């Protein structure tokens, strides 16, 4: 069974059709990339999947469950995490607290247990604190465990978002341009990280402009153009697809 | 993602980053230990240095304001939701308590509980529609709510005594009437310490992170599974309830309450205490309440220029310490200590 399924989805903003009758499936495991020129609707697609927007028509299914009308915070409880193209980090918290935020749903969050600092809450929070440090180590941010978020460089913040997303123990991870603004070394490290994540059982959906990264790592690629699906297939198939070459790769090469 | 794989690869690192690195400086400068100890010591020794009705009156006002401002700081400083109508909850708690205790002869504590309950109910009902707004719009809406409550308290003279206010029966608990300033001092000091402790616990907990995330990035909070509306309502109701409780106690203490307690100027004073002391700083909330309660008393020497000086002090602090007094000094001292 497919893990994520987008069914004949259309999203209109006034007269603009940002997504037009789009259908595709994401199978469990693998790295699924969504590519397309600027304005093709990639981030809009992420916002539709995570519930920031509701589709005009069509629907999203996660593990067979229809997500229509479900608010963002409830979708997050279904094992789906994401990162953001323009960073969404809490600069009023330390780096580690940002990661701990991602684990919110796994913690005792009753007001009384927080107010009175009940033992079970303290224990769970301590475990969460330790796990956050491990996750930071995992994404290569071990040196920043005790840092303020404001004291970290841009490349590190991109990884911090990934660590926060992982803190929720997601089965499906949506990465919105994780390599944007990174240099070649940092991009290579992100590629390795995505590879490791995937090996550890996380299904990844990737929106990315760096074609080298996409072609290296993707098991499945969906190409969008003006909100419509232009092509779909393996990296090899996409690379040789005449429409894709004309619309996108051709223009870049 | 399999947690196991992380843990197996993380064995080597589990020791260092897992443990919370704490030096003696971290302990001294933490709100939980250093701040708490400083507060308790200050409250314990203050009665040794003050004397007379006037000075105790000032101390008691500081205690009341500090408790309200700690709770308001959870809303404004931590969760980033502005309220320019908070005095209305203080006043409404005061009037609700006073009317029930004085006009209807309810037992004092029951009247207090009912006054707080009324405000909690109003805040809970108003929270959803109001807290959907952000920034200036939220400020406007809370301002409007405050004005409506103020107007009702001023206009409904048959119930509230109108603009002249109303006198309040003294606090009587189990046959014992609280008159003595020193008793009031200890009662209110204990409430302040309790409030501080609760606030420290909240800020250092999953709930506290959720609240701070509302300020830091609502998008991040939402995507981390945090029900943004729920947490906004929660902290709004909490801060309103604490304001109402202190309003009720204030009414009992002073024996008299006027609509100005619920008025716009009082709301602004409370927010200024938060900002001047330091947003998202609990020690700052206490310091802000202390300074701004006492400052007007010391500025009396400037006679007609009193409010001019008051404004000048606020401007200078904000220009040179935009983060507020306590966070700025805290950062400065820690940098000097290394």
User: Is residue A179 included in any domain, yes or no?
Assistant: yes
How close A46 comes to chain B (CA, Å)?
12
Res A119: pLDDT = 94
Contact B17 A77 (CB under 8 A): no
Pairwise CA distance, residues A148 & A92, whole Å: 8
User: Is residue A240 included in any domain, yes or no?
Assistant: yes
Q: Which two tokens stand for residue A240?
A: 């040789």
User: Is residue A85 included in any domain, yes or no?
Assistant: no
Domain boundary among the residues A119, A147, A169 is at A169
Domain match, A2 and A70 both = yes
For range B173-201, the mean pLDDT: 93
Residues B334, B25 contacting (CB under 8 angstroms): yes
Query: What residues does each domain of chain B span?
Result: 24-337
Domain match, A8 and A75 both = yes
Domain match, A72 and A21 both = yes
- The residue of B206, B217, B231 whose CB has the most chain A CBs within 10 angstroms, and thus the best one to mutate to test that interface, is B206
Residue with tokens 């290569």: A140
Pairwise CA distance, residues A188 & A196, whole Å: 12
Those residues with Cβ within 8 angstroms of residue B136's Cβ, 6 or more apart along the chain or in another chain: none
The better pLDDT of the pair A227, B189 is held by B189
B/e letters for B2-25, b = 16+ CB within 10 Å, e = fewer, are eeeebeeebeebeeebbeeeeeee
B43 touches chain A (CB under 8 A): no
Residues A155, A179 contacting (CB under 8 angstroms): no
Domain boundary among the residues A136, A169, A202 is at A169
Domain match, A192 and A242 both = yes
Nearest to A137 among B5, B10, B234 (CB): B10
Nearest CA in chain B to A174: B223
User: Is residue A2 included in any domain, yes or no?
Assistant: yes
Residues A194, A33 contacting (CB under 8 angstroms): no
Pairwise CA distance, residues B248 & B25, whole Å: 39
Domain match, A175 and A147 both = no
Mean pLDDT over each residue of chain B, to the nearest integer: 90
In tens, the pLDDT along B49-65 reads 998 999 999 999 999 99
Partners of residue A164 in chain B, C-beta under 8 Å: 220, 224
Angle, CA of A33, A39 and A44, to the nearest 5°: 65
Mean pLDDT over each residue of chain A, to the nearest integer: 93
In tens, the pLDDT along B143-175 reads 999 999 999 999 999 999 999 999 999 998 888
Residues B200, A116 contacting (CB under 8 angstroms): no
Pairing of strands B166-167, B172-173: unpaired
Res B303: pLDDT = 80
Q: Which two tokens stand for residue B307?
A: 């409010």
Domain match, A75 and A175 both = yes
Domain boundary among the residues A134, A169, A204 is at A169
Beta-bridge partners for A60: A6
A170 touches chain B (CB under 8 A): yes
pLDDT-derived band of residue B1, with 50, 70 and 90 as boundaries? Answer: very low
Beta-bridge partners for A150: none
Q: Which two tokens stand for residue B219?
A: 């998008």
> Is the model's pLDDT at B73 over the cut of 90?
yes
B167 touches chain A (CB under 8 A): no
Those residues with Cβ within 8 angstroms of residue B230's Cβ, 6 or more apart along the chain or in another chain: none
For range B303-327, the mean pLDDT: 88
Count: domains in chain A: 2
Beta-bridge partners for A193: none
CATH number of A235's domain: 3.40.50.300
For range A48-66, the mean pLDDT: 95
In tens, the pLDDT along A115-151 reads 999 999 999 999 999 999 999 999 999 999 999 999 9
Res B27: pLDDT = 85
Res B22: pLDDT = 67
What proportion of chain A, given as a percentage, has pLDDT over 70?
A: 97
Those residues with Cβ within 8 angstroms of residue B22's Cβ, 6 or more apart along the chain or in another chain: none
* Closest to B270 measured CA to CA, from B64, B46, B40, B35: B64
Domain match, A218 and A108 both = no
Give the DSSP letter of residue A247. I
Pairwise CA distance, residues B271 & B91, whole Å: 15
Pairwise CA distance, residues B324 & A45, whole Å: 42
For range A74-79, the mean pLDDT: 94
In tens, the pLDDT along B287-300 reads 999 999 999 888 88
Domain hosting A25: range is 1-79+171-253
Three-class DSSP category at A36: coil
Domain match, A129 and A197 both = no
How close B4 comes to chain A (CA, Å)?
9
Angle, CA of B63, B69 and B73, to the nearest 5°: 150
Give the DSSP letter of residue B32. I
Contact B1 A134 (CB under 8 A): no
Pairwise CA distance, residues A30 & B118, whole Å: 56
Domain match, A176 and A217 both = yes
Res A1: pLDDT = 65
């Amino acid at each position: 069974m497919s893990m994520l399924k987008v069914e004949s989805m259309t999203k209109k903003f006034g007269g603009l059709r940002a997504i037009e009758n789009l259908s595709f499936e994401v199978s469990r495991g693998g790295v699924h990339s969504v590519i397309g020129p600027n304005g093709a609707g990639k981030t809009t697609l992420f916002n539709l999947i995570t519930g920031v927007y509701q589709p005009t028509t069509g629907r999203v299914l996660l593990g067979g469950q229809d997500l229509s009308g479900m608010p963002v915070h409830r979708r997050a409880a279904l094992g789906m995490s994401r990162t953001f193209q323009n960073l969404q980090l809490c600069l009023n918290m330390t780096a580690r607290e940002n990661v701990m935020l991602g684990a919110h749903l796994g913690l005792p969050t009753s007001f009384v247990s927080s107010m009175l600092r009940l033992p079970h809450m303290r224990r769970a929070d301590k475990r969460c604190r330790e796990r956050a440090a491990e996750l930071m180590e995992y994404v290569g941010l071990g040196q920043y465990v005790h840092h303020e978020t404001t004291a970290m460089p841009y490349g590190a913040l991109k990884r911090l978002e990934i660590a926060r997303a992982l803190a929720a123990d997601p089965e499906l991870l949506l990465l919105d341009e994780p390599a944007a603004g990174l240099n070649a070394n940092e991009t290579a490290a992100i590629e390795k990280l995505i590879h490791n994540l995937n090996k550890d059982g996380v299904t990844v959906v990737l929106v990315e402009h760096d074609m080298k990264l996409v072609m290296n790592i993707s098991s499945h690629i969906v190409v969008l153009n003006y909100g419509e699906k232009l092509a779909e297939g393996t990296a090899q198939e996409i690379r040789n697809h005449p429409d894709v070459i004309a619309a996108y790769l051709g223009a870049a090469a | 993602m399999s947690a196991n794989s992380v843990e197996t690869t993380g064995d080597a690192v589990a020791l260092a980053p897992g443990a919370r690195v704490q030096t003696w400086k971290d302990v001294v400068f933490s709100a939980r230990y250093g701040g708490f100890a400083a507060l308790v010591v200050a409250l314990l020794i203050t009665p040794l240095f003050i004397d007379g009705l006037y000075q105790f009156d000032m101390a008691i006002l500081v205690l009341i304001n500090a408790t309200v401002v700690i709770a308001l700081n959870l809303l404004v400083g931590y969760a980033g939701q502005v309220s320019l109508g908070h005095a209305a909850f203080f006043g409404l708690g005061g009037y609700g308590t006073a009317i029930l205790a004085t006009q209807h002869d309810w037992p004092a504590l029951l009247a207090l509980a009912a006054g707080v309950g009324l405000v909690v109910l109003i805040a809970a009902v108003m929270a959803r529609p109001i807290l959907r707004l952000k920034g200036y719009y939220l400020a406007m809406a809370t301002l409007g709510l405050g004005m409506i409550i103020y107007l009702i308290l001023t206009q409904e003279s048959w119930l509230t005594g109108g603009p002249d206010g109303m006198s309040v029966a003294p606090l009587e608990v189990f046959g014992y009437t609280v008159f003595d300033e020193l008793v009031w001092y200890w009662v209110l000091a204990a409430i302040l310490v309790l409030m501080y402790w609760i606030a420290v616990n909240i800020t250092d907990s999953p709930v506290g992170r959720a609240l701070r995330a509302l300020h830091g990035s609502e998008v991040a909070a939402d995507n981390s599974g945090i029900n943004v509306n729920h947490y906004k309502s929660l902290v709004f109701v909490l801060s309103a309830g604490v304001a109402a409780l202190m309003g009720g106690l204030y009414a009992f203490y002073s024996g008299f309450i006027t609509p100005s307690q619920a008025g716009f100027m009082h709301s602004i004073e409370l927010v200024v205490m938060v900002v001047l002391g330091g947003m998202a700083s609990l020690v700052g909330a206490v310091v802000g309440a202390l300074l701004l309660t006492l400052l007007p008393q010391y500025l009396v020497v400037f006679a007609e220029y009193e409010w001019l000086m008051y404004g000048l002090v606020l401007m200078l602090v904000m220009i040179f310490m935009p983060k507020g007094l306590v966070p700025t000094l805290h950062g400065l001292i820690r940098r000097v200590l290394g």
